């Protein structure tokens, strides 16, 4: 029986340029255009400090993330996730419209834009699952758990399935009536915007100082966005357990003795989070103006659909909520 000759071994002087040239010669792989838009966008996010590179790429080394999921994320980030645009380019189709819903197909549409009801429900549940993980982290802090007064992150059954207990202070998905002006109509309250989480904490030392020096209340809606009634801008409300060592029932706090925190969690296109930032601020602008408290803070948490985690729009609001440990 004849044996096949041993395969020829190639000497490669390095594992970069030489390996790249070898793989492209034999398999037409390796000559990726690193100056292409997708590569440039992600490099810009890392270099300008918008995204946190280590956290955004941590999924690659996490054992419980399935290989299929890792491949989908890599394809999305490199612009190679097959969609109708590719089908038209490869002459496999004549339409760029999604085959399941009347929308223009794209990689972003596949991960977060489906209008087809079953797929849309999956996207909603993925969002709610992320919210439940954040609520679970808040619940572990002890102090903040007793400050949650409203939750809108899916059904109670779903939370039970995740072994997540609903805080006793959060009885409804709607923002509590006692946070609104006395004569505010219920029908308007029911139709007002609903952030995923609403927390009420005792007024912080920084807010008390501002009340004394400025002679007025400060509304802070959106990180870095201050609207004031006094002459001096206030510092962000603090939720530290060291600042507020004693437990208080949120409802027992008068409007001058409470800080209100609205937590909005949104998925966004990894390389362009600014569009969703403006949309989130506009969505809850009226609610921030109406609620009565020493301060109102809108914490906007962005999660890139391709796994991107942002320094300012993800990690910073986590720290503001005492979730940086």
| pLDDT given at position 208 | 54
| pLDDT given at position 141 | 72
Q: How confident is the model at residue 320 (pLDDT cuts 50, 70, 90)?
A: confident
What's the DSSP call for residue 312? I
214: nearest Cα among 234, 199, 200, 195: 234
153: nearest Cα among 194, 122, 118: 194
Domain boundaries, the chain: 129-320
Least confident range of 28-32, 182-186, 239-243, 277-281: 239-243
| pLDDT given at position 238 | 47
324: nearest Cα among 305, 301, 304: 301
Its pTM surpasses 0.85: no
| pLDDT given at position 248 | 67
The full 3-state SS of 87-137, as one line of letters, equals HHHCCCCCCCECCCCCCECCHHHHHHCCCCHHHHHHHHHHHHHHHHHHHHH
């Amino acid at each position: 029986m004849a044996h096949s000759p041993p395969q020829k071994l190639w000497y490669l002087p390095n594992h970069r340029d030489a390996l790249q040239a070898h793989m492209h010669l034999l398999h037409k792989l390796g000559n990726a255009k690193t100056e292409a838009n997708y590569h440039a966008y992600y490099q810009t996010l890392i270099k300008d400090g918008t995204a946190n590179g280590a956290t955004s790429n941590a999924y690659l080394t996490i054992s419980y993330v399935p290989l299929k999921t890792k491949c989908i994320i890599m394809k999305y980030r490199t612009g190679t996730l097959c969609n109708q645009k590719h089908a038209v380019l490869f002459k496999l189709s004549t339409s760029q419209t999604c085959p399941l819903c009347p929308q223009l197909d794209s990689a972003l549409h596949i991960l977060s834009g489906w209008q087809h009801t079953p797929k849309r429900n999956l996207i909603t549940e993925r969002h709610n699952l992320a919210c439940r993980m954040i609520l679970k982290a808040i619940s572990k802090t002890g102090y903040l758990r007793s400050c949650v007064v409203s939750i809108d992150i899916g059904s109670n059954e779903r939370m039970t399935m995740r072994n997540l207990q609903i805080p006793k202070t959060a009885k409804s998905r709607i923002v509590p009536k006692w946070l609104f002006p006395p004569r505010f109509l219920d029908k308007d309250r029911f139709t007002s915007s609903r952030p995923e989480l609403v927390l009420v904490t005792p007024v912080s030392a920084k807010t008390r100082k501002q009340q004394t020096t400025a002679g007025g209340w400060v509304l802070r809606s959106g990180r870095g966005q201050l609207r004031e009634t006094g002459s001096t801008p206030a510092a962000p409300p603090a939720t530290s357990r060291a600042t507020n060592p004693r437990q208080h029932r949120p409802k027992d706090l008068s409007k001058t003795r409470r800080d209100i925190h609205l937590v909005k969690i949104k998925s966004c296109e990894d390389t362009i989070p600014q569009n969703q930032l403006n949309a989130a601020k506009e969505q809850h602008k009226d609610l921030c103006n109406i609620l009565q408290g020493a301060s109102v803070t809108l914490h906007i948490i962005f999660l890139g659909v391709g796994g991107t985690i942002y320094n300012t729009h993800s990690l910073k609001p986590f720290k503001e909520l005492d979730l940086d440990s």
